[in-house]
Amino acid sequence: MRSWIVAAAIVPLFLAACGARDEDEETPAAANYSPPTVTSRLDFGSEIERRFHDNDVNRDDKITPDELPERLRPMIARGDKNGDGALSAEEWGNLLLDWFDRNDLNKDRTLTSEERETYRAQQRARRAAAAPDGSAR
Ligand SMILES: [Ca+2]
Ligand SMILES: [Ca+2]
């Protein structure tokens, strides 16, 4: 019993020590290294809400085209289900959760920076394969 407890205490320490040594070995490359990130779908939900309020400049609980940067304006046409030309909090949330789920390639409801990278690369490849004038849909 006692040795079991000791082993349980030592194993994590051992793993931590190995991790620390690996980090030391990687130090020369550290300058170019951005640590991987993981976002849970739950965390992303509060992020969605925060971003909605950030973008809703006039606080009317709608995001209109003039409140979005040019490159994000196509979001409105895609997400505006009731056709009022703006995104409600719900329409905004659905759009962003849909984006999250498309990026979550292994469908474990967390999004890693690696998955985002992979998804971005897939999108680039898809655009490159489309007609040069962008007419392909
Ligand atoms: Ca607004
Ligand atoms: Ca995932």
Cα(7) to centroid(ligand 2), Å: 32
Ion ligand 2 residue ranges (Cβ < 5 Å): 104, 106, 108, 110
The ligand placed nearest to the CA atom of residue 38 is: 2
Q: Residue 7 above 80 pLDDT?
A: no
- SS3 at position 15: helix
Count CB-CB contacts under 10 A for residue 80: 19
In the predicted structure, residue 137 carries a pLDDT above the cut 70? no
Confidence of residue 133 (pLDDT cuts 50, 70, 90): low
The answer on pLDDT for 14 being more than 90 is no
* pTM exceeds 0.85, yes or no: no
pLDDT score of 132:
67
- pLDDT tens for 18-63 read 444 444 444 555 566 778 899 999 999 999 999 999 999 999 999 9
Residue 112, pLDDT score? 97
Instruction: Go through 82-116 and write b for each residue having 16 or more CB atoms within 10 A of its CB, e for each that does not.
Output: eeeebbbeebbbebbeeebeebbeeeeebbbeebb
Ligand 1 centroid vs 99 CA: distance in angstroms? 22
- 81 phi/psi in degrees, rounded to 5: -80, -30
Domains of the chain: 42-123 (1.10.238.10)
Q: Is the dihedral of CA 39, 45, 50, 56 positive or negative?
A: positive
Instruction: Please answer whether residues 42 and 104 qualify as being in contact, where contact means their C-beta atoms are separated by less than 8 angstroms.
Output: no
pLDDT tens figures, 94-131? 999 999 999 999 999 999 999 999 999 999 999 999 96
